[in-house]
Amino acid sequence: MSVDIKLPEGAPEEVVTQALVRDVDLTAFGIHATMALITLDNGHDHNRPNTFGPQSLLALDAAITQATSRNPVAIAITGKPFIFAAGADLSAISFISNREQSLAIGKLGHDVFRRLGQSKIPTFAFINGLALGGGLEVGLHCNYRTLASTAFTALPEVFLGLVPGWGGATILPKLIGPERAVQVIMLNALNNNTMMKAKDALKLGVVDAVYEPSDFLERSIAFAAQVLNGAIKVERKDYSQDPGWDVALATGKAAALKKYGGAEIAAPMKALELIGAAKSNSLSQGFDAEDGALADLTMSDPLRSSLYAFNLIQKKRKKVEGAPKPALARKVSKVGVVGAGLMASQLALLLLRNLKCPVVMTDIDQERADKGVAWVKNELAKLVEKKRMSAEAAHRLELLISGSCDQNTFAGCDFIIEAIFEELSLKQELFKKLETIISPECVLATNTSSLSVERMSEGLKNPQRVVGFHFFNPVAVMPLLEVARTSKTDDETTATAIAIGKELKKTMIICKDAPGFVVNRLLTRFMGEITDAVDEGTAPDVADNAMRAIGFPMSPFQLLDLVGPGVALHVSEVLHANLGDRYRVSPTMAAMVKEGVRNFYIKNEDGNVAANPAAVALIHKGDSPSTADQVRNRALTALAIEARMMLDEGVVTTAAEIDLCMLMGAGWPMHLGGILPYLDREGISEAACAQRFHPKGSASLP
């Protein structure tokens, strides 16, 4: 095949995945012939997975031609060790400015992959490792598929603002039926990009057999031989008359609307359209429809936004902006956690599981300390029960966790984090006492959400050892960790904190010690505009649903219920005291806390969620109501103004760090691409601040 598809100007050069052909003798299986085995390999170690760009697709096309010319009885395709293929090379997409070029890349993928499905001899995919997107789709084009038991597979395109565009949206519904296809293409992708384990892929019918990695290739070849000699027959069901198509599509649409707060986002809607069309479309018709859908989405803002967000997250996972040299980090062999409540216990569990070193918890009495340790051990038991940890591994960790009411037990600790009540004087007193027990090098970290870390270090002999280490709840799930440096925090302390954060598998930003750090400062400003609108007389449902139109999965008052009015009120009071009247303290929220009303929403007698009458009765009713558009505009304008102030103050050094924080710590929708690109696109940045946050015309942004 001779196709000339040049990468767009400025795009990174494609890392080509080669396709290497060799013959496999099947004589040992009673078949006096050979099978041609194509191995995908980009020449890098497992840290760089195989991907398909134009040149890689042409390499595979040439390999299929070469394999066919050898007159084998079958063709099989596999990957390099531990990796099959991670799908399309997306690095150039944001540079494409021509729909025809996008269409050509989609068509090229179909033209190459379909050669496996339309081959005159049987084709097999031996999926020996990770297979995502186009990596799984090349396997779907084959007649039969085996999968390594340790491999994960997925079609994550909808999560990224795309559709499975190289056959997946057409082949999969025909192969496993509409309900299961919606599960794989839609529900898994919308559920934080859930991947299928091998057993799930086998149960769903995505693959035909699963083998252990130790002898995967040998057993896969044996499977192929048994298919060829008739010993194994794989039955395929015709789903064209399946009665479940309408229900499956309705389920997928409901999930997408729920995910994006009722907004009809293009990618999931287009994916559902393609799945529905697969019922009656021929493969060629389906592939043509995929090409068109892919080209349209590629040129759209939501896809460019999603790719910006996705690439930002991937980049910042690997490298923390402004981090000191890793060599400065001190070794951590014992950890202390001050507090044994729920947050402290979550921290202890996370540290224990990842650092695998002694962790000691303390509280004001032994009963509370024991309760925290018991919670940690109970969570370990749950992991064993769910088969996410072996009983032996859990037992080893149990031996490392202990609790005490005596803070002298912290002697010998290299890192201590406090999670006690949010009262500055208590934290100051704590750190002064700890300094009499621990070594001068032991890091003192605080999980405060809004208090001044610098003030906590006042009066200490070694204030350079104090650092903010702000997690988000639930600790094990939320990926962001804000590392806050004071004016005195030294590089060794910061490097140690970053090293621990990496061990905890967190995505981190280093920020200046400023009220609310990044996420809470922006969220509180945003929430304040919503509660202000309600206090001024806007109907609660109008104010609370104002952001739904752009795809927010959770409304402000739902978020309030999640964090609790008490915590939200405390943060707003701290920010009001430190940053002034733009952080107003809502009389409604203050009344909710005073009266002990903990939720704005409750389930009524019918089991449906409704506004809590007790909360509604406490609303400070003004006489200046706003429309939903007005509420949304004022909230977004406030975010733009606050973000600009934070950059000017040096809370963080780049706009991208603010985007990362809101994506990873506040659930800002991926399809909006980060808060600041969205404000730029909508013209809010320039209207509010007379300048954009990101340069106009940047190839990486819509």
- Asked if 529 contacts 562 with a C-beta cutoff of 8 angstroms, the reply is no
The domain spanning residue 394 has which CATH number? 3.40.50.720
Question: Among 37-41, 166-170, 317-321, 468-472, which stretch is predicted with the lowest mean pLDDT?
Answer: 317-321
Per-residue confidence band for 10, with pLDDT thresholds at 50, 70 and 90: low
Where is the domain boundary, 479, 512, 545? Answer: 512
Is residue 355 one of the residues assigned to a domain?
Answer: yes
Judgement on whether residues 573 and 591 belong to the same structural domain of the protein: yes
**Which tens digits make up the pLDDT trace of 121-171?**
999 999 999 999 999 999 999 999 999 999 999 999 999 899 999 999 999
To the query of whether residue 418 is one of the catalytic residues in this protein, the response is no
Instruction: Find all residues with CB under 8 Å of 425, minimum gap 6, and list them.
Output: none
Q: Are residues 478 and 603 in the same domain?
A: no
Angle at the Cα of 371 (from 451 to 368), degrees rounded to 5?
60
Same domain, 393 and 273: no
Is the backbone peptide bond immediately before 613 cis, with ω within 30 degrees of 0? no
Task: Give the residue numbers spanning the domain of 443.
Answer: 326-512
360 and 436 in one domain? yes
**pLDDT for residue 647:** 97
Q: With 0-12 CB in 10 A as exposed, 13-18 as middle and 19+ as buried, what is 603?
A: exposed
Has 14 been annotated as catalytic?
no
Q: Which residue is catalytic, options 13, 137, 423, 503? A: 137
CA 179/CA 190 separation, integer angstroms: 15
pLDDT of residue 498: 98
Residue pLDDT, tens place only, 34-88: 999 999 999 887 778 999 999 999 999 999 999 999 999 999 999 999 899 999 9
Q: How confident is the model at residue 701 (pLDDT cuts 50, 70, 90)?
A: low
What is the band of 7 on the pLDDT scale with cuts at 50, 70, 90? low
Task: Evaluate whether residue 313 is within a structural domain.
Answer: no
Please identify which of the residues 157, 179, 454, 482 carries the catalytic annotation. 157
Same structural domain, 190 and 333 = no
Do the domain assignments include residue 142? Answer: yes
pLDDT digits (tens, 9 = 90+) for 244-270: 999 999 999 999 998 888 888 999 999
Domain count for the chain:
3
Residue 680 lies in a domain: no
pLDDT of 315 reads 87
How far apart CA 569 and CA 589 sit, in angstroms, is 7
Q: Is 466 contained in some domain?
A: yes
Closest CA to 188 of 95, 87, 268: 268
Q: In terms of domains, do 344 and 283 share one? A: no
Same domain, 54 and 124: yes
Same domain, 581 and 645: yes
Residue at which a domain ends, from 497, 512, 527: 512
Enumerate long-range contacts of 282-287, CB under 8 Å, 24 or more apart: 283/114, 283/117, 283/167, 283/170, 283/171, 286/167, 286/169, 286/170, 286/171, 287/110, 287/114, 287/167, 287/170
Q: Are residues 369 and 483 in the same domain?
A: yes
Residues written for the chain: 702
Quick one: CA torsion of 196, 249, 666, 338, rounded to 10 degrees? -50
> The domain that contains 72 carries what CATH number?
3.90.226.10
Amino acid residing at 39: T
Q: In what order do the strands lie in the sheet with 74-79?
A: 18-25, 34-41, 74-79, 123-127, 144-148, 209-211
In this structure, the answer to whether residues 226 and 332 fall within a common structural domain is no
| 373-403 burial: b if 16+ Cβ within 10 Å, else e | bebbbebbeebeeeeebeeeebeebeebbeb
Pick the last residue of a domain from 468, 491, 512. Answer: 512
pTM: 0.88
